[in-house]
Structure 1
């Protein structure tokens, strides 16, 4: 991901102090550590938990966006203040820092809102008094997560077409947990995340394995492999292709799968998060099996379907044997 940072500002959210502490000066983007931190945080907004969608043109946020390039600091304050009017009403939403960033990616100008919650950490403090130099251990309650950690919440918005990628969390409002960011801040209904769609697919696959008396591990393995292959080929989850690959000649299973995933909430998306192939490679390129005797196996997809390397044998007594073949060497990863 090639990101060119144009402008950025940091605002502080200390709920005990009242309203946000708004910075009137942009962050210094000539500092390499600042550029690296912000770039990493932007990249982490594209994940398996990320939802996608498009803002409606007459929403509050959409009306602010034209200010972003010419009046960036004023825009950032207006954006954060709008968000905070909802956030402050939560009983358990924590203190945090908020970054608002103007950047370019693939020649598209975008805005990012990134919230990083505080965490506690210990550090030292040196003090000189009448008795001499004293090194103290102190607790700092406003430490930010490292650059490689995913933001707690955030959104990126393309200025050209108002499309967005969103990570949101549920917080408690009047005793009820809810997703306030999409419902109230951006006034939008996003499409399900990759994880949400996969949860639907796995539940339906498990149900069908019972219905058609097929081992659950085998059905789930077929489905996972099919998901990985369709994302690699097309960049999105194609349930028709998954049904063909996973259930092969079982026409009833294929039709039942396609109907039930839609009924349970699966939404097909031709445009998924921009890093979907990289995410798929990490999540679905290996089969993870846990056997009843406690053995756990991690098997690459290309190995799983090769009977010369691994074979699953049904024994006459109803048990199952796993044969791992043609091993040239074994390493202990202690």
Structure 2
């Protein structure tokens, strides 16, 4: 997967898209990127690039206004403010056609990265917050708390929808990176529908190495919980074997992995492979080594539903401090050794 670590802001603008209005409120000036504003926008972008919901995508064939406008800017053929207005207009048209899409500010940002220039589209959904109101009543001061519904997400909050569009080149594997988080509603006309990807961006999500790796880990864990829930010994073998493979191998063949883990238990091995395939996992897994490294830095163990243990990878692998002892009856003992200090929280 292409990981973005270096981001610089070139210029940014924000437009108000209020469903209660007849037209967007267009900004005629780019934002003054003071230190505070620069840091606020940068935090959001960095958080998006690190978000595990960030997906790869390619633009669909055919006419696509957002694609054409973004490429016009990225190829140096259009004015930033004018192009940002036209992009905002396209989103506002969708919002007016579907009243369940919440009002927002659309922030358009030109950024430079180690992978080249990109145009960022950040849908800043409004956040409810509160302020005080001071008024004089009978020559006395009265102070009330009033809700506000137009607050922007703080730098610590995660955006629900955004896109990072690249210049389209012949050797590109992807055209853009997208976050499109869905709500839990099953109503296809609700805000959780696919309007952002399908209608606004006009793109199709494609699977990347991180998605493949994560899906395999998630599927293997689900199988383990379902089939070995009363056999902690066997479950530990599956989990430790999986961690070892992820750390050591660039590719994992699920058939070979299953044979290595389950040995002569052919029925169990076949059941594992069949289940994994049914969940859409391919036989060959291209391991995203960087994601695995970050994923395994900390291990969380939920033990018998009433004990939580958080432990870093180094300690987990250090037998002088942490050890799993098999009892021979399907149960295990987990030993935390040589404790010098502990506190209660």
1:198 aligns with 2:214: yes
Q: 1:26 Cα shift? A: 1.2
1:220 aligns with 2:239: yes
Let me know the Cα RMSD of the aligned residues.
3.7
Q: Does the aligned pair in 2 maintain the 1:225–1:301 contact within 8 Å?
A: no
User: What are the Cα deviations for residues 221-240 of structure 1, in whole angstroms up to 9, with x where unaligned?
Assistant: 4434544x26xx86xxx433
Tell me the equivalent position of 2:342: 331
Q: 1:318 and 1:107 mapped to 2: Cα distance?
A: 50
Instruction: Note closer, same or farther for the CA distance 1:262–1:111 as it changes in structure 2 (3 Å cut).
Output: farther
Partner SS for 1:74: helix
Tell me the equivalent position of 2:201: 186
Tell me the equivalent position of 2:71: 66
Q: 1:142 and 1:176 mapped to 2: Cα distance?
A: 18
5 Å-filtered alignment, 1:53-202, equals 53-56=57-60, 58-60=62-64, 61-68=66-73, 69=76, 70-106=78-114, 108-126=116-134, 131=139, 135-161=143-169, 163-170=175-182, 172-174=187-189, 177-192=192-207, 194=210, 198-202=214-218
Instruction: Note closer, same or farther for the CA distance 1:7–1:241 as it changes in structure 2 (3 Å cut).
Output: farther
Tell me the equivalent position of 1:12: 16
Q: 1:152 and 1:80 mapped to 2: Cα distance?
A: 17
Q: 1:167 Cα shift? A: 0.5
Q: 1:154 Cα shift? A: 0.2
Q: 1:27 and 1:108 mapped to 2: Cα distance?
A: 22
Q: 1:84 and 1:224 mapped to 2: Cα distance?
A: 46
Number of matched pairs: 321
Instruction: Note closer, same or farther for the CA distance 1:259–1:158 as it changes in structure 2 (3 Å cut).
Output: farther
TM-score (norm 2): 0.76
Query: Which runs of no fewer than 5 residues in structure 2 stay unpaired?
Result: none
Q: Give the stretch that moved more between structures: 138-147 or 88-97.
A: 88-97
Q: 1:139 Cα shift? A: 1.7
Query: Which runs of no fewer than 5 residues in structure 1 stay unpaired?
Result: none
1:296 aligns with 2:308: yes
